[in-house]
């Protein structure tokens, strides 16, 4: 199924609901899903690529053992803000085993999350670096590092069900921050938004279930090196996400959500 096809809103597809405060059950379900993601081999081209990169390595990391597998999401099971990126970097997440960890985009993202109160530290370099997110959860729309950062349509569609299930399990999410147009299009479809809202930095649109889609330029080196995305611009979007999660988004609460 392509991104332009008709689909049911994400919450209606295999939705798993939890009682308010049933965080332990949610955490267990997310762990089960994460374990399932980490062993996925659905996309032959990406399996070959991620594993070959893990063998070849970049010279600067030649003594490290690469993860070389898909990346589950990371963050607070009670998050009200979900951030969705594109795909892991070959020598970033594909090396460290955590989304956006160990590459320049991640440096930008987690520093901004720290400045805006969603992270306990500005650095994200390794699985055991002590990073903790609060009220935020981070995922990649495609879980395996793709050649040239470009997954195919088939690979994208093969991976979207993982996002669908994560969204179902992250029952407190009020705001989805799409990092880049690729994520924006996927999230808009999954949230059942018709017509699909236009992408733009800081653009907002409300899905039928009340979730707010808030878009941002991706913190890629291309955008940050050229000044297309600046720290104030990025912080502004994250502060707006918190504002929406705490205030305006509650004006249209989802049924059965606890926070």
Rank residues 160 and 237 by Cβ distance to ligand SF4 and give the closer one.
160
Residue 40, token pair as written in the block: 């996925």
3-class secondary structure per residue, the chain: CCCCCCCCCHHHCCCCCCCCCCHHHHHHHHHHHHHHHHCCCCCHHHHHHHHHHHHHCCHHHCCCCCCCCCCCCEECCCCCEEEEECCCCCCCHHHHCCCCCCCHHHHHHHHHHHHCCCECCCCCCCCCCCCCECCEEEEECCCCCCHHHCCCHHHHHHHHHHHHHHHHHCCCCCEEEEECHHHHHHHHHHCCCCCCCCCCCCCEEECCCCCEEEEECCCCHHHHHCCCCCHHHHHHHHHHHHHHHHCHHHHCCCCCCCC
| Smallest distance, ligand SF4 to C-beta of residue 51, A | 11
Rank residues 119 and 144 by Cβ distance to ligand SF4 and give the closer one.
144
Rank residues 46 and 171 by Cβ distance to ligand SF4 and give the closer one.
46
Rank residues 46 and 241 by Cβ distance to ligand SF4 and give the closer one.
46
Rank residues 45 and 257 by Cβ distance to ligand SF4 and give the closer one.
45
In whole angstroms, give the CA distance from residue 257 to residue 253.
Answer: 7
| Smallest distance, ligand SF4 to C-beta of residue 98, A | 15
Rank residues 43 and 207 by Cβ distance to ligand SF4 and give the closer one.
43
In whole angstroms, give the CA distance from residue 51 to residue 123.
Answer: 26
| Smallest distance, ligand SF4 to C-beta of residue 66, A | 15
Which residues form the interface with ligand SF4 (CB under 6 A)? 37, 40-43, 46-47, 70, 142-144, 155, 158-159
Rank residues 158 and 245 by Cβ distance to ligand SF4 and give the closer one.
158
| Smallest distance, ligand SF4 to C-beta of residue 257, A | 27
Residue 28, token pair as written in the block: 């267990």
| Smallest distance, ligand SF4 to C-beta of residue 82, A | 17
| Smallest distance, ligand SF4 to C-beta of residue 233, A | 29
Going by C-alpha positions, the residue among 233, 205, 199 that lies closest to residue 219 is 233
């Amino acid at each position: 199924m392509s991104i332009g096809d008709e689909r049911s809103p994400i919450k209606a597809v295999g939705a798993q609901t939890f009682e308010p405060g049933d965080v332990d059950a949610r955490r267990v379900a997310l762990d089960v899903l994460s374990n399932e993601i980490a062993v996925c081999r659905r996309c032959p081209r990406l399996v070959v690529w991620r594993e070959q990169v893990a063998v070849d390595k970049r010279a600067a990391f030649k003594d490290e053992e690469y993860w070389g597998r898909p990346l589950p999401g990371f963050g607070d099971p009670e998050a009200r803000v979900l951030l969705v990126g594109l795909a892991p970097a070959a020598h970033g997440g594909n090396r460290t085993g955590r989304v956006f960890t160990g590459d320049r985009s991640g440096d930008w993202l987690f520093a901004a999350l720290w400045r805006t109160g969603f992270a306990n530290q500005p650095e994200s370099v390794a699985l055991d670096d002590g990073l903790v997110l609060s009220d935020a959860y981070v995922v990649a729309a495609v879980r395996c590092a793709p050649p040239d950062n470009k997954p195919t349509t088939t690979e994208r569609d093969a991976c979207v069900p993982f996002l669908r299930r994560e969204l179902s399990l992250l029952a407190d999410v009020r705001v989805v921050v799409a990092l880049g147009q690729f994520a924006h299009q996927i999230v808009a479809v999954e949230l059942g938004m018709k017509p699909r809202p236009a992408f733009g930095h800081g653009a907002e649109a409300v899905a039928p279930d009340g979730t707010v889609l808030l878009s941002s330029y991706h913190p890629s080196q291309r955008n940050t090196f050229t000044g297309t995305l600046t720290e104030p611009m990025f912080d502004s979007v994250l502060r707006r996400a918190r504002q929406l999660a705490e205030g305006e988004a509650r004006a249209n609460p989802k049924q059965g959500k606890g926070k």
